[in-house]
Amino acid sequence: MSKTKEITTTQVTIVGGGLAGLASSIRLARKGIEVILVEKNTYPFHKVCGEYISNEALGYVKSLGVNPFDFGAVSLDRFWLTSPSGNKLELDLPLGGFGISRYTLDYELSKVAKKEGVKIWERTFVKEIQKNNELLMINDKLNEKTNNENTFLIKTSKGNIKSQIVIGSYGKRSNLDNKLQRNFSNKNFPYIGVKYHIKTDLIPSNVIALHNFWRGYCGISRIEDDKFCFCYLSHKDNLTDFKKVENIEKQLFTENPFLSKILKEAEFLYEKPEIINQISFSPKKLIEDDILMCGDSAGMITPLCGNGMAMALHSSKILSDLLLLYFENQINFNNLKSNYQKSWNKQFQLRLKAGRTVQHFFGGRTSSEFLVNTFKHVPAVARKVVSLTHGKEF
């Protein structure tokens, strides 16, 4: 990489250092491609996330250089689902998965990325991304090398970056969405996400549990160090009615006997929960002004499906495979975009649609009761829903 006149040049800039961004950076750097990854936080840090990964992604994570079980990951192969009344379904997870915190997994992947030569700009905010800026077209060696297909100027709090490719992997929602005028950016969305880590002996270590409450649902599963991830999604009307997340928990969790018992007896390890507002499950454009979206930036499955982390990792593999072909001059940028869209749709479009459909039954007293009873009396339906929201090993 070269740095002149406060502009750093690179082949690939990745905006956002979550699972999709880190995985992409590692694969590209291993092939000698220059990568800068821009992350607003400093590793390690917590994120609002269910912290369960389907085993479809286990082999890929290991191939990146991190075996989750070396860092305390826990195998999960059973599923509990309850309605607000406490009506419970128990189901085997055929493929299974594992629980590990984002605090640990992202941190370990970031160390691998740095070792592979990725330049990680931590505590750095992206202010703006400009494409084919005229100032960059003058005597630009990078453009000469890449046949003038693309040049981006990424303005950050640390300095400016000139890049041939930009990957947007900044998660569920960002100010960049407004800057890029994405189709959902000016809309208000009705969900908030809240996460704690807790200690409890009320749930077996191999179980991922999903508990409904009025206008929301809560996922609980084991992670490293004898802890559990306790993460819930609530409609914003609950916050309007009860003013604080603590009041939502006190007023609504008590209806569900499982949540009530956990609230009373579990040890909550955070002084304050991690919270994210304005969560969107609407369809998103995969490519915005030639910026290649990856992970939750490309599309987010509803948390009840417990598979967003695996999808983020899979999308990174699809994109990085195509980028490797691009940098080997086997495909051009238009081919890359077209193939990425086709592959992404094939892998994820049905899963996202299935997740949005199933979500309509959650968070309602009657609808979630109906769903639990249906699954209990017709287990084949439950197994089909699980299969629709999960993929195969990649």
Tell me what the mean pLDDT of segment 52-72 comes to: 97
How far apart, in Å, are the Cα atoms of 123 and each of 15, 293, 328? 12, 21, 32
Spatial distance between the Cα atoms of 21 and 14, rounded to a whole number of angstroms = 6
What span, in angstroms and rounded, lies between the C-alpha atoms of 254 and 259? 7
The per-residue pLDDT for 350 is 86
- Residues with Cβ within 8 Å of 33's Cβ and at least 6 positions away in sequence, in order, are 11, 12, 323, 324, 327
Residues above pLDDT 70, as percent of the chain:
93
Q: pLDDT (tens digit, 9 = 90+) per residue, 214-272?
A: 999 999 999 999 999 999 999 989 988 999 999 999 999 999 999 999 999 999 998 88
Give the pLDDT confidence score for residue 368 in this predicted structure: 93
Task: Please state, in angstroms and rounded to a whole number, the distance separating the CA atoms of residues 28 and 118.
Answer: 9
Q: How far is CA 337 from CA 12, 37, 289, 342, in A?
A: 15, 21, 11, 9
Instruction: Report d(CA 83, CA 373) in Å as an integer.
Output: 9
Dihedral class, residue 87 (left if φ above 0, else alpha if ψ from -120 to 50, else beta): beta
Cβ atoms of 22 and 37 within 8 Å: the answer is yes
Strand, helix or coil for residue 241: helix
In this structure, what are the phi and psi dihedrals at residue 83, rounded to the nearest 5 degrees? Answer: -85, 170
Query: Mean pLDDT for the chain?
Result: 90
Task: Tell me 137's DSSP state.
Answer: G
CA 299 vs CA 181, 254, 296, 349: distances in Å? 16, 33, 5, 9
Write down all domains in the chain, each with its CATH number in brackets. Answer: 2-47+104-185+281-355 (3.50.50.60), 52-100+188-275+364-388 (3.30.9.100)
192 pLDDT above the threshold of 50: yes
Q: What is the dihedral angle through the alpha carbons of 266, 272, 277, 283, rounded to the nearest 10 degrees?
A: -50
The pLDDT value given to residue 304: 62
Find out whether 350 and 392 touch, Cβ atoms under 8 Å: no
Are β-strands 126-131 and 152-156 bridged in parallel, bridged antiparallel, or unpaired?
A: antiparallel
pLDDT digits (tens, 9 = 90+) for 375-390: 999 999 988 888 888 8
φ, ψ of residue 307 in degrees (nearest 5): -140, 15
Q: How far does the chain reach from its first CA to its final CA, in angstroms?
A: 32
pLDDT at position 171 is 80
Query: Do 295 and 352 form a contact (C-beta atoms < 8 A)?
Result: no
Q: Of the given ranges (62-66, 99-103, 148-152), which has the lowest mean pLDDT?
A: 148-152
Q: What is the pLDDT at residue 271?
A: 83
Average pLDDT over residues 341-360: 88
Residue 50 Cα to chain centre, angstroms = 9
Helices (H), the chain: 19-30, 58-63, 102-115, 141-145, 175-179, 236-242, 245-252, 257-265, 308-327, 333-344, 350-359, 365-377, 379-388
**pLDDT at residue 313 above 80?**
yes
**Cα-Cα-Cα-Cα dihedral sign, residues 141, 144, 145, 147:** positive
Q: Is 383 exposed, middle or buried (0-12, 13-18, 19+ CB in 10 A)?
A: middle
- pLDDT score at 133: 55
pLDDT in tens, 115-158: 999 999 999 999 999 987 554 444 444 444 444 467 999 999 99
From 133-147, 171-185, 292-306, 349-363, the region with the lowest mean pLDDT: 133-147
Write the pLDDT tens digit of every residue in 278-297: 777 777 899 999 999 999 88
| Region of poorest pLDDT, from 220-224, 328-332, 357-361, 376-380 | 357-361
* pLDDT confidence bin for 305, thresholds 50/70/90: low
Q: Is the dihedral of CA 8, 109, 102, 272 positive or negative?
A: negative
d(CA 288, CA 137): 21
